[in-house]
Amino acid sequence: MRAAFLVKYGASQSAFEVRETEKPSPSPDQVLIKVEAFGLNFADVMARLGLYKAAPPLPAILGYDVVGHVESCGSKISDLQVGDRVVAFTRFGGYAEYALAEKEMAQKVPDAMPAGEVVALATQYSTAYFLVHTMANIQEGDRVLIHAAAGGVGTALTQMALLKNCMVFGTCSSPEKMEYLKNNGVHHPINYVAGDFEKKISSINKGAGLDVVFDPVGGTSTRKGFRLLGAGGRLLTYGVSSMNKNTSFLGKLKVLFQFGIYHPIQFLGASKGIIGVNMLKVGEERPEKVASAMKAVIDLVDKGRLKPFVGGEFGVEQLGEAHQFLESRKSKGKIVVKW
């Protein structure tokens, strides 16, 4: 089979090579999927830059989400069969013509659902569902801030918060994305490049605190978000995208200090807190929770209550270009790569 290997860290155009490699065989608890398309996530960019510790050593096959048809099943698989179309959350290995997934991580999807929309469900929409319903437990009418609201997870978080009738604040980096946020239902789109989001939100809320902040950016974004929380508020951090522009040792150190220093007594006194989420870790230790989230979002999309947005489709020979587009922060929604 062919697979796109990460062969060196750095610039996207020279980081990948498509090579022939051996087709994997499923263990008793796995399915082998003939991949129709795979998705990109910002964690892929961090891995390409050598900033993601969980990534396998070079040469590596990245990739967390795929859509395709079941090619073969392990002996302990009973709810899937050869030929089923599935979306799967993979622990790397997704940038290939064939990929393995654990039995809980592969879920059936309708044949008519577009590949780009399907591939958004494994990582972005399942992450958003887990954040919203399990970790944040948002309530009707909550005031919610979503950073990187034009991205794949941000798009999903916005739609899920609107289903709960929340007041949604969303940050982005351009006038074009401001329009995207408005079209996705964000009540208060904020261009953080044009002004300080903390001051803007404080002014709109007239000093009232936020209930939930979703933050994949890190650094000063986290510190400001924590200050914006009111009593009972919670900040969920699920990425450090600000690190990709600070790849040197001193740059990384700077970002870490920008987060701020916290103590449990501080959380207790203000009755607010910070929660970290790593979906790879959740998938390793509690795969049933990821499976539950995947089933829920597939059902919600199938019923028309959620609608993934595909912000770019590329061929595998354009993988470097796709990475560059995602890293540029000009992309919106889900970026998908097709074989």
In the chain (339 residues long), the average pLDDT of successive 10-residue segments reads: 97 96 96 97 92 92 96 94 96 96 94 93 94 96 96 96 98 95 97 93 93 92 93 92 60 62 82 93 92 96 94 96 92 94
The reported pLDDT for the residue numbered 268 is 86
Looking at residue 245, its pLDDT comes to 61
Q: Nearest CA to 179 among 67, 291, 309?
A: 309
**In whole angstroms, what is the distance from residue 207 CA to residue 272 CA?**
16
The single residue listed with the structure tokens 């209550």 is 305
Task: Tokens for 256, please give them.
Answer: 């870490």
Is the CB of residue 337 less than 8 Å from the CB of residue 40? yes
Dist CA 246 CA 241 (whole Å)? 10
Q: Are strands 106-108 and 16-20 parallel, antiparallel or unpaired?
A: unpaired
pLDDT recorded at residue 53: 85
Name the nearest CA neighbour of 225 among 159, 146, 133, 124.
146
pLDDT at 258: 61
Q: What is this structure's pTM? A: 0.90
- The neighbouring-strand residues paired with 172 are 191
Q: Which residues of 99-111 are buried (b: 16+ CB within 10 A; e: fewer)?
A: bbbbbbbbbebee
Please provide residue 126's backbone torsions phi and psi, each rounded to the nearest 5 degrees: -70, -40
Looking at residue 68, its pLDDT comes to: 98
**Structure confidence at residue 242 (pLDDT):** 62
pLDDT reported for residue 217: 86
